[in-house]
Amino acid sequence: MSLIKSISGIRGTIGGREKDNLTPIDTVKFAAAYGTWLKQELQKDKITVVVGRDARISGEMIQNLTMNTLVGLGIDVIDIGLSTTPTVEVAVPLEKADGGIILTASHNPKQWNALKLLNNKGEFLNAEAGAKILKIAEAETLEFAEVDDLGKISVKENYIDLHIEEVLKLKMVAIDKVKNAGFKVVVDAVNSSGGIAIPALLKKMGVEVVELYCEPNGHFPHNPEPLKEHLTDICNLVKKEKADLGIVVDPDVDRLAFIDETGEMFGEEYTLVACADYILSKEKGNTVSNLSSSRALRDITQKHHGNYKASAVGEVNVVKLMKDTNAIIGGEGNGGIIYPQAHYGRDSLVGTALFLTYLAEKGKKVSEIRKEYPSYFMSKNKIELTPDLDVDGILRAVEKRHSNQEISTVDGVKIDFPENWVHLRKSNTEPIIRIYTEAKSQQEADELAQKMIKEIEDIIA
C-alpha cells in the first residue's frame, strides 16, 4: 500500500510487497541502516539503543525484528516494551544510551507502523543524519557482527512509571493543588499505550479517572487522530459523568487534546496556548511554534512580554529554534507540548500535568479558561497541480504579489496579514500546494483559503 522514507524515519503499512510496504525485510534494512550509522558516527566498541513501541497490533513483530537486527550488528538493546514516544525520549538520556527507536505510526490508522529515530539526547535526528541513514539503507550490502560480538537485549518494564516520576518532579507541577481540587477526568487513549500512562499519571495526582478506550490492544475504536469528528464518544461521556475535563491522546501519546466540562472541544491548537499561558505567568521567557500553528500563542506570549518565533513545520525544526531563542515552552498546534525543563520532545504527560496544575490554580471551569483566549479559526486545504508545473515558481509569484505584507519563506510562503494569515507549503512527494489559513471566524478562514486558491489559479493561467 505505502512506504514513506524520510529523514525522520520510515513509515508504512503492514503486509504486501517489499519496498512498497513496511515488510519485515524493509524493517530489518532500515534498522540496520540506523545501527550502521551509529557505529560509523560513534566509532566505539559498545553501543546501546533504547527501543519502545505503542500498542499497535504489529508492534511486537516490528520491535522483535528491529531489536534483533541491532543485536546482529553488535549493538546492545534496552527493551522498554509497551511505551510512549516521550517515554522513550526520556529513557535514552536516563540510560546514557547512544540512541533510541520508537515503533509507532503516531496518529495513522492501525495498519500503519513506523521506526522513529532518536539521537543520544533522546531527540529526533536532524536532516543531515536522516539523509545519511537513507543513503546507507540504499546500499547494496550491510556488514553485521561476528558471533562472539553480537549484542544483548536487556528488558526494563517500568519506564512509564519512571517517566511519570520525572513529570511529577517538575517545579511547575503542583500535585497537592491538583489533589485538593478533586478533579474528575475522562480519558480516551484510543486503546494504545496512553491507556496505561495517562490514567497512572492522573491517579498519582489524586484525580478520579473514568477510562474510555484505555485497553492497550491496538484495536483503535475510532480514527486515532484526535480531531473533533472522531471524538463523539468522549464528548458525550464527559457530560454524562459530569466530569471536569476530558483528555484525549493519540496512539504514541505526543499529541494532547482537551474536552471541556460541557462536552465541547477545547481546541487542539489551544493545548499549547493554555500550557504556555501558565508557564509564562510564572516565568518570563520566549516561545516557539511552527508556521502552521495558531497566532494565539504569539498573542499570549506578547501579553506576558515575551518574544514569539515561528519555525518550519516539523518537531526537529521547532526544537532547534527553541534552543536558538532560549524558549521556555513551545511545540506544535496539533496538541504537542515541548517543555525543556522535562525534555525536548512533545509530551502529553507533561502537558496534562501542567494544565491540571493551571486549572487547579485558576479555580475556573475549563470552558471559562478557553474564553480568556483570543478565538481563531483554521481552514486546511490543498490545490493539486500537474507534474510539469514549477511549484517553487508559483510560490515565488505569490510572495511577490504580497511583498508589502509580513512574509516568511522559512518553510514555503507564509503571509501575515493584520487580521489573519495564510501558509502555503509544497508537498515533497506529489504536485500539491497545501494551504493553511487562520482568521477570527471560520467563514473568514475559508474565504481566505478560496481567495488564495483563485490567486494561484490566476498565476498558473
Active site residues: 106
Contact 83, 95 (CB under 8 A): no
Distances 51 to 66, 73, 76, 373 between C-alpha atoms, Å: 8, 15, 10, 39
- Among left, alpha and beta (phi > 0; psi -120 to 50; other), residue 66 is alpha
**Count of positions (residues) in the chain:** 461
State the DSSP string of 192-226: STHHHHHHHHHHHTT-EEEEES---SS--SS-SS-
User: How do beta strands 3-6 and 9-13 pair?
Assistant: antiparallel
Q: Which of 21-28's residues contact partners 24+ apart within 8 Å by CB, and which partners?
A: 22/62, 22/112, 22/113, 22/114, 24/61, 24/65, 27/62, 27/65, 27/66, 27/69, 27/115, 28/65, 28/66, 28/69
Contact 108, 9 (CB under 8 A): no
Set of cell numbers at residue 50: 533504547
* Sign (positive or negative) of CA dihedral 251, 255, 259, 264: negative
In the three-class reduction of DSSP (H, G, I as helix; E, B as strand; rest coil), residue 245 is classed as: strand
Set of cell numbers at residue 237: 461521556
In the three-class reduction of DSSP (H, G, I as helix; E, B as strand; rest coil), residue 416 is classed as: strand
State the DSSP string of 58-92: THHHHHHHHHHHHHHTT-EEEEEEE--HHHHHHHH
* Sign (positive or negative) of CA dihedral 85, 90, 94, 98: positive
User: How do beta strands 99-103 and 112-118 pair?
Assistant: antiparallel
Instruction: State in Å, rounded, how far the first CA of the chain is from the last one.
Output: 35
Helices (H) and strands (E) in the chain, counts: 15, 20
